[in-house]
Structure 1
Amino acid sequence: MHFIRFLKVPTTTSKPSSNIITVSTLITISTDLSEAFYNGNATLRATLRADTQSRQLLASKTVTWTPGLRNIPIQFTFTASKDTATDGIVCISATENRADDMRTLFAGPSESRILSAWSTPFNILQNGSKAEAFVERKLQLSAGKMVRIWEETREDIARHIWPGGLAMTSYLSTLPTPPTGQLPSLTPLLSNPSLNVLELGAGCGLAGIVLHTLLPSTKVTVTDLPITTEITSKNLTSNSNENSNNISYCPLDWASSLPEWCASSTYDLILVADCTYNTASIPYLVGVLDELCGLSPGVVILLAHKVRHDSEEMFFEMAGEKGIEKKESVVFEMAGDRVDLYVMGR
Structure 2
Amino acid sequence: MHYIRFLRPPKVHNDKNTVQLKAVVTVTTDLGETFFPEDAELIATIRETAHDGEVYLRRKFQWSGGARSLPIILDVSRNDIDWPACLHVGVKVSKGKGPGFLPPVVDAWSGELDPTKGQLDSGWRVERRFTPLNERPVSLIEDAGDSIARHLWDGSQALAQIIDDTISLENTTTPLPLLEYLLVSATYRRLNAIELGCGCGTVGIALAQSIPDCDVLLTDLPEVDSLVAANIARLNPAINSKVTFHALDWEAPLPKGVHSRVHDLIIVSECTYNTDTLQPLVNTLKALITRSPKAIIVVSTKTRHDSEAAFFDLMKEADFIQDGSMRMPLPGVPGSGYADWATDVGIHIFHGKNHRLSLSPRGSDQDVPKAKEAIAAANGRVRKAAAGAEDDAKGTNS
Same structural fold, with TM-score higher than 0.5 when normalized by the shorter chain? yes
**2:87 paired with 1:90:** yes
- Which residue of structure 2 lines up, in the alignment, with residue 109 of structure 1? none
User: Are positions 1:113 and 2:119 aligned together?
Assistant: no
Alignment correspondent of 1:162: 153
1:13-52 → structure 2 map (5 Å cutoff): 13-15=13-15, 18=17, 20-51=18-49
Distance in 1 between the 2:137 and 2:164 partners? Answer: 10
Note closer, same or farther for the CA distance 1:180–1:92 as it changes in structure 2 (3 Å cut): farther
Pair 195,126 (structure 1): closer, same or farther in 2 beyond 3 Å: closer
Give SS of 2:31's match.
Answer: coil
Q: How does 1:57-68 map to 2 (within 5 A)?
A: 57-68=55-66
Partners of 1:214 and 1:168 lie apart in 2 by 13
- Matched ranges for 1:306-345 at <5 A: 306-335=302-331, 336=334, 337-345=343-351
Task: Give distance in 2, aligned partners of 1:245 and 1:72.
Answer: 41
Q: Deviations over 1:116-149 (max 9, x none)?
A: 0000001245778211101110011112111100
Partner of 1:293: 289
CA contact (8 A) 1:102 1:139 kept: no
Gaps of 5+ in 2: 335-342, 353-398
Q: CA deviation at 1:287?
A: 0.4
The whole-number CA distance in structure 1 between the counterparts of 2:26 and 2:191 is 40
Q: d(CA) in 2 for partners of 1:211 and 1:326?
A: 22
Give CA-to-partner distance per residue, 1:88-126, whole Å, 9 cap, x none: 200001122289964483xxxxxx810000000012457
C-alpha deviation, 1:79, in angstroms: 3.1
Is the aligned partner of 1:9 residue 2:9? yes
Q: Distance in 1 between matches of 2:173 and 2:327?
A: 7
Say whether 1:228 aligns with 2:221. Answer: no
8 Å Cα contact 1:98-1:114 kept in structure 2: no
SS at match of 2:93: coil
Between Structure 1 and Structure 2, how many residues are aligned? 337
Over 3 Å counting, the alpha-carbon distance change for 1:203 and 1:244 in structure 2 is farther
How far is the alpha carbon of 1:54 from its aligned partner?
8.4
- Output aligned runs, 1:134-149, within 5 Å: 134-149=125-140
Partner AA of 2:330 in structure 1: M
Q: Deviations over 1:212-257 (max 9, x none)?
A: 0001311110110001101000000011447576211111111111
Measured in 2, the distance between the counterparts of 1:54 and 1:157 equals 29
Q: Does 1:247 align with 2:212?
A: no
Q: Is the 8 A contact 2:210 2:238 kept in 1?
A: no
The alpha-carbon deviation at position 313 of structure 1 amounts to 0.8
Query: Aligned with 2:36: secondary structure?
Result: coil
Give the partner amino acid of 1:325: I
Partner of residue 184, structure 1: 177
In the other structure, the counterpart of 2:206 is 210
The one-character-per-residue Cα deviations of 1:295-322 (angstroms, maximum 9, x if unpaired) are: 1112100110111111111111111100
Point out the structure with the larger strand share. 1
Segments of structure 1 that go 5 or more residues without pairing to the other structure are: 106-111
Displacement after TM superposition at 1:49 (Å): 1.4
Kindly indicate whether the alpha-carbon contact (under 8 Å) linking 1:326 and 1:342 is maintained by their aligned counterparts in 2: yes
Number of the residue aligned with 1:284: 280
In structure 2, distance between residues paired with 1:115 and 1:84: 25
Normalising by structure 1, we get a TM-score of 0.90
Change (3 A) 1:101 1:333: closer
Report Cα offsets for 1:48-71 as digits up to 9, x if no partner. 114479833222111122222111
Question: 2:97 and 2:295 mapped to 1: Cα distance?
Answer: 31
Three-state SS of the structure 2 residue aligned to 1:157 is: coil
Q: 1:221 to 1:128 in 2, by over 3 A?
A: closer
- Root mean square deviation, CA, Å: 2.4
Match of 1:123, as an amino acid?
A: D
Check whether the contact 2:174–2:180 (CA below 8 A) recurs between aligned residues.
no
Q: Distance in 1 between matches of 2:190 and 2:286?
A: 23
Take 2:152 and 2:52, find their aligned partners in 1: how far apart are those partners?
29
Deviates more, 1:47-56 or 1:301-310: 47-56
CA drift at 1:163: 0.5
